[in-house]
Amino acid sequence: MKKILTMTLLTAAALLSLASCKEKKAEDNGIIKTDYEAPKPTDPKVSSVSTVSEEVEWVEGRRYYVTITGKADSTLSMVENEYGQKFIDNAIRVDVTRADSTLFFKQTFTKESFANWLNKDYREKAILASISFFGIEGDLLTFIVSLNHPEASEDESLDLLMQIDRHGGTSIKPFTYNDRDDLDVREQ
């Protein structure tokens, strides 16, 4: 009787071990598997058209109007992200008019306008995102120029400081927001 019981227990143990081998699940090692599929490229994306106008007191306390108009420009080279999505780059026009409506300054800027300050990655894969009026430093109208990779956060932008002098000349230099405190800018 003991032999039959022992044989039955051994047979049951063998069958359980074989069954457990068949159902053994793969270890996940803490790695979560997902079925991620990169977004499919669509038609080229464009930035929205925007116009911002601001009245400022500038040279000798006279009134000027700074108008910045940005729009996607299909004549410019397109930029492509890592998923193959294309983006149309922007052209941004800065106009400065006097109170009597005479034009003091008018220039359209593209990414190429800032090529001297861009590395290869930004020349090939970034767009001109914005030009924003920042304030007046002495007799200079001061602007922040932002270039970035499409759909990137603002923290990932390359910023430049652009200034227009009282004779209509422009100067451009690298800028970080840590430099803000070093500027003696009178905000309007």
Which residue, among 70, 59, 67, 136, has the nearest Cα to 105 in the 3D structure? 67
- Report the alpha-carbon distance of residue 145 to residue 20 in Å, rounded: 65
CB 157 within 8 A of CB 149: no
Instruction: Please name every residue paired with 142 in a beta bridge, in sequence order, or none if there are none.
Output: 135, 163
pLDDT score of 90: 95
* 133-182 pLDDT, tens digit each: 999 999 999 999 999 998 877 667 899 999 999 999 999 999 876 655 55
Token output for 115:
């090529």
d(C-alpha 90, C-alpha 113), whole Å? 12
Q: Which of 7-11, 37-41, 84-88 has the lowest mean pLDDT?
A: 7-11
Strand partners, 162: 143, 172
Mean pLDDT, the chain, rounded, equals 82
Distance in angstroms (rounded) separating the CA atoms of residues 120 and 109: 19
For the chain, give the number of residues.
188
Per-residue model confidence (pLDDT) at position 156: 78
For 86-114, what is each residue's pLDDT tens digit? 999 999 999 999 999 999 999 999 999 99
- Between 83 and 6, the more confident residue is 83
Phi, psi of 60 (to 5 degrees): 55, 35
